[in-house]
Amino acid sequence: MPLTFDLQATCGDARAGVVHTDHGDILTPIFMPVGTAGTVKAVHQHELRNDIEAQIILGNTYHLYLRPGCDILRQAGGLHRFNAWERPILTDSGGFQVFSLAANRKLKEEGCTFRSHIDGSRHLFTPENVMDIQRVIGADIMMAFDECAPGDSDHRYAQRSMELTHRWLDRCLARFNETEPLYGHHQALFPIVQGCQYEDLRKISAEYIASKEPEGCAIGGLAVGEPTEVMYRMIEVVNAILPTDRPRYLMGVGTPQNLLEAIERGVDMFDCVMPTRNGRNGMLFTAEGTINIKNKKWESCFEPIYLDYTLAYLHHLIKAEEILGLQICSIINLKFYLWLVGEARRHIVEGDFARWKSDMVQKLGRRL
């Protein structure tokens, strides 16, 4: 069955809905843990399912293409079987990684040539083969191949980049429509709105994406160094144009405060490495503010923070560079992010999201 979206409640522009996929339903707003190379770092799948209660995770086309490679993924029957995750998966197109990680990349109309960050081998990504790779991965939601222009691009470059992204989108759609899923479940293709921090370009791009009547839409190229006020304004501009009956995915964002501000502006889906990356560096997100577990003040704090583990024990694990510490911190942060979007959903349904969000943003800014 095609991916569908049921809008269940609104509170201002904030939305609560359900995305229906062949691997299960996704209650929105939702945060999606990032499993770049087929794994959410330091977290077991059973913890993602039963403790964190993740409804969908991400994989990345660039990383999975390079390792383990398409042959292994096809033999395994796709990423769902390869990593034993039976719930929905979304794959990034690899565009961001090509433009941020790969060495000696060369951009042209055909696509982008790059050298692997692993072994220096040379590769070409085109809109067509990126669709083919994502067919092999088997994600429920596939992303169109786009150029991720630098956040400080001038208007002229940003426009050329956006127009290239649109031409690539047309090629992605053509390839997508002439191919079939490999593993018996439906795959949806989300185009990506670009345009840097230029309101006129964002409007043009959102209109172009909406004209394709996609199953869902993504907003890319934000949270790349621009002021948060600019990011929020671009979200407002884009969401005023994107269809209301399709899910909206803000890529690579962000802090807990960013999530709440974007939800207030009509975004449904989020991903970011921040909860796991910051967790592995000893930063914990909580409903009362952030904790730097490395600080000496936690050395003798025996208050439980997760299961029976105390802040003092977690402080010890992180200072001793024990792997268990990285795992616990990652779980704590992901649980918090999923709790936060779940609470946002509840308050949207109850009709008091704006008041709750205002109070919560103040708390989230504290350093404990």
Distance of CA 315 to the CA centre of its chain: 29
* Upper half-sphere CA count for residue 359 (Cβ side, 13 Å): 9
Whole-number Å distance between alpha carbons of 358 and 343: 13
Active-site residue (options: 13, 271, 308, 352): 271
57, 181, 251, 88: CA torsion to nearest 10: -20
Q: Which residues pair with 310 in a beta bridge?
A: 304
Give the three-state DSSP class for 244.
coil
Active-site residue (options: 6, 92, 146, 170): 92
Query: Which residues have a Cβ under 8 Å from the Cβ of 322 and sit 6 or more positions away?
Result: none
245 catalytic per annotation: no
CA angle 32, 36, 41 (to 5 degrees): 85
92 catalytic per annotation: yes
Give the largest Cα separation in the chain, rounded: 62
Cα–Cα separations (whole angstroms), residue 197 to 162, 200, 225, 277 = 12, 9, 10, 26
Contact (Cβ atoms closer than 8 angstroms) between residue 5 and residue 245: yes
Cis preceding linkage at 29, omega within 30: yes
Active site residues: 92, 271
